[in-house]
Amino acid sequence: MRIVLVHPVGSNWVPGKKDVTATANRMAPLGLLSIAAYLEGEGHEVFVHDCLGPRAPQGNEASAGIILGMNPDLVGFSATTSGFLDGYDLATRIKAARPGIRIVFGGVHVSAMGGTLLDRFEHIDYLCMGEGEATLAELASGEEPARISGLVWRDQGVAVSNQPRPYIPDLDSLPFPSYEKLAGFPKGYNLPLFSYILSPGATMVTSRGCPYQCSFCDRSVFRREYRYNSAQYVYEHMRYLRKRFGVRHINIYDDLFTAHRRRITELCDLLISRPLGMQFNCAVRAGHCDDELLEMLKKAGFLQLSLGIETGDPGLMKTHKPGVHLEEVCDTVRRIQAKGLRAKGLFIMGLPGETRESILKTSDFVISLGLDDMNMSKFTPFYGAPLWASIDEEGTFDHDWRKMNCLNFVFVPKGMESREELDQLYNRHVKRFYTDPGWRRRFRGRIWEHRRSLIYFLRNLPTFLGAMRNFEPEKES
């Protein structure tokens, strides 16, 4: 069967502003690439169309033409909440041109909402719930829909949800993602500026699932079942990216990359004894990061470690990220930097219970940590998150899917006056961080290391300057 897997553009920025996200950080759609590799292993002819790719045309009409030009029997879409409607517009265009093409949607938004989507969106034939590799392979092989675990389909116009599909027990049984199907990979898929020294860069995921239960995190696809690739598999995956594509830096986007100590020890031993000439970034959990682990990561080539901190308010931390304490955060950041690694903090503004005072407290806490980098997301409620059931009781919520991308304040907590107040405080905080004398001193000391990022920044200067103006604090009246 001929299959096209599609990563739709979606709404990735702020309404009325130029979308600069792909210029700042263009990530390979790893989930689709994993499914593509699996389907090819089952004998299917597979194409990947990344609407956010460096060589992708502008607009859905052009993308629909490219997809139709591949003459597919089946088209699969992986969509976030903000990307779902854009994907559906593409599906509608494809169905209008060739009604016989089957359309399947998967991804976190689909897995969270389920069969109700078939009731509302007539041009979707199937939904793929959870992991997509085996479900899509059975659908492509001609198996009866009623017999395919993890599939949602229509029986005489009524949505039917089959039994859930068991998770793949051995992730090492999966082939490496089909990176070669991305036009312009790897140089067109740029990592976040100043987060790397060597280039080109790429991204990897080496585990699935997370046993923790943060209030804001949607676990609809992998849930709390934590599975991981072996150290040998991860090393060979890294070596493949190095030898096949010349990749020099890898951002590892696992939620819990260092959770299994023996795996990380084995991987670091491999990277130290058989170095690949690469550097790596990953995430660690505050309070679970001892000196021995940090020394191993440093010797193995790791550059930057990210911490999901979320807030500097103890009450909000207890509610939304139980088990993490501000004292542990401070200690972990100090330990990371003491070992010569960089520490990046990940935060969320606008959580339920947030107030002007808690935001100012978080801003002060961020500055006090002396971080090497910081990312502040705008809280977005997602359908599969634990707090979803009570979200409308906690404040006002704009349910516009296109804005639900963590770059717009779609939710205003009861403790805040307005969305405008949130935006003003957000912009002030971002500017405060990047104008802080301590941060600027650290950054100046690394300018030569980051010359590749600097060159890229200068080449795209008008775009970045336009984005920076979004963070100019508005003057109070």
The CATH number linked to 39 is 3.40.50.280
**In terms of pLDDT, which residue wins out, 278 or 474?**
278
pLDDT range class, residue 212, cuts 50, 70, 90: confident
Q: What is the pLDDT of residue 348?
A: 97
Q: Give a yes or no: residue 175 inside a domain.
A: no
User: In 246-376, where does DSSP find H-type helix?
Assistant: 261-273, 291-300, 314-320, 326-338, 356-369
Looking at the structure, do residues 137 and 253 belong to the same domain, yes or no? no
Query: Please, is 441 exposed, middle or buried when counting C-beta atoms within 10 Å of its C-beta (0-12, 13-18, 19+)?
Result: exposed
Looking at the structure, do residues 290 and 362 belong to the same domain, yes or no? yes
Q: What is the pLDDT of residue 223?
A: 64
The CATH number linked to 362 is 3.80.30.20
Q: What is the pLDDT of residue 244?
A: 98
Mean pLDDT computed over 249-273: 95
pLDDT range class, residue 469, cuts 50, 70, 90: low
Q: Give a yes or no: residue 179 inside a domain.
A: no
Express each pLDDT in 235-253 by its tens digit: 999 999 999 999 999 999 9
Distance CA 191, CA 306 (A): 14
Looking at the structure, do residues 71 and 206 belong to the same domain, yes or no? no
Mean pLDDT computed over 207-232: 83
CB proximity list for 213: less than 8 A, separation 6 or greater: 224, 322, 386
pLDDT range class, residue 288, cuts 50, 70, 90: confident
17 has a pLDDT exceeding 80: no
pLDDT range class, residue 463, cuts 50, 70, 90: confident
Phi-psi region of 340 (alpha: psi -120 to 50; beta: other; left: phi over 0): left
Mean pLDDT computed over 96-119: 95
Looking at every residue in the chain, the average pLDDT score rounds to 93
Q: Give a yes or no: residue 171 inside a domain.
A: no
Q: Give a yes or no: residue 128 inside a domain.
A: yes
How many structural domains does the chain have? 2
Express each pLDDT in 160-171 by its tens digit: 999 999 999 999
Looking at the structure, do residues 312 and 447 belong to the same domain, yes or no? yes
Mean pLDDT computed over 388-399: 94
Q: What is the pLDDT of residue 476?
A: 47
Token readout for 151 is 């599939």
CB proximity list for 136: less than 8 A, separation 6 or greater: 3, 35, 38, 39, 76, 104, 106, 128
Q: Give a yes or no: residue 324 inside a domain.
A: yes
Mean pLDDT computed over 266-277: 98
Looking at the structure, do residues 25 and 154 belong to the same domain, yes or no? yes
Looking at the structure, do residues 203 and 91 belong to the same domain, yes or no? no
477 has a pLDDT exceeding 60: no
Q: Give a yes or no: residue 61 inside a domain.
A: yes
Q: What is the pLDDT of residue 121?
A: 97
Token readout for 170 is 């051995």
Whole-prediction pTM value? 0.93
Q: Determine contact, residues 434/376, Cβ cutoff 8 Å.
A: no
21 has a pLDDT exceeding 90: no
Looking at the structure, do residues 136 and 205 belong to the same domain, yes or no? no
Token readout for 397 is 């919520």
The percentage of residues in the chain with a pLDDT greater than 70, rounded to a whole number, is 94
Q: What is the pLDDT of residue 18?
A: 64
Looking at the structure, do residues 340 and 439 belong to the same domain, yes or no? yes
Looking at the structure, do residues 147 and 246 belong to the same domain, yes or no? no
Which residue, of 117, 144, 161, is where some domain finishes?
Answer: 161
Q: What is the pLDDT of residue 384?
A: 86
**In terms of pLDDT, which residue wins out, 217 or 49?**
49
Q: Give a yes or no: residue 463 inside a domain.
A: yes
Looking at the structure, do residues 255 and 153 belong to the same domain, yes or no? no
Burial 354-393 (b: 16+ CB within 10 A, else e): beeebbebbbebbbebebbbbebbbbbbbbbbebeeebee
**In terms of pLDDT, which residue wins out, 374 or 79?**
374
Express each pLDDT in 322-350 by its tens digit: 989 999 999 999 999 999 999 999 999 99
Question: CA nearest 289: which of 340, 328, 263, 318?
Answer: 328
Amino acid present at 124 = I
∠ CA(339), CA(341), CA(347), 5° rounding? Answer: 125
Q: Give a yes or no: residue 302 inside a domain.
A: yes
Question: CA nearest 151: which of 139, 167, 140?
Answer: 139
Question: CA nearest 308: which of 347, 335, 273?
Answer: 347
pLDDT range class, residue 470, cuts 50, 70, 90: low
Domain boundaries, position 339:
191-469
What is the rounded end-to-end Cα distance, in angstroms, of the chain? 63
Query: What is the CB neighbour count within 10 angstroms for residue 68?
Result: 16
Looking at the structure, do residues 157 and 200 belong to the same domain, yes or no? no
Express each pLDDT in 417-426 by its tens digit: 999 999 999 9
270 has a pLDDT exceeding 80: yes
Looking at the structure, do residues 437 and 300 belong to the same domain, yes or no? yes
Tokens 């977005």 belong to: 380
SS3 34: helix
Distance CA 38, CA 31 (A): 11
The percentage of residues in the chain with a pLDDT greater than 90, rounded to a whole number, is 84
475 has a pLDDT exceeding 90: no
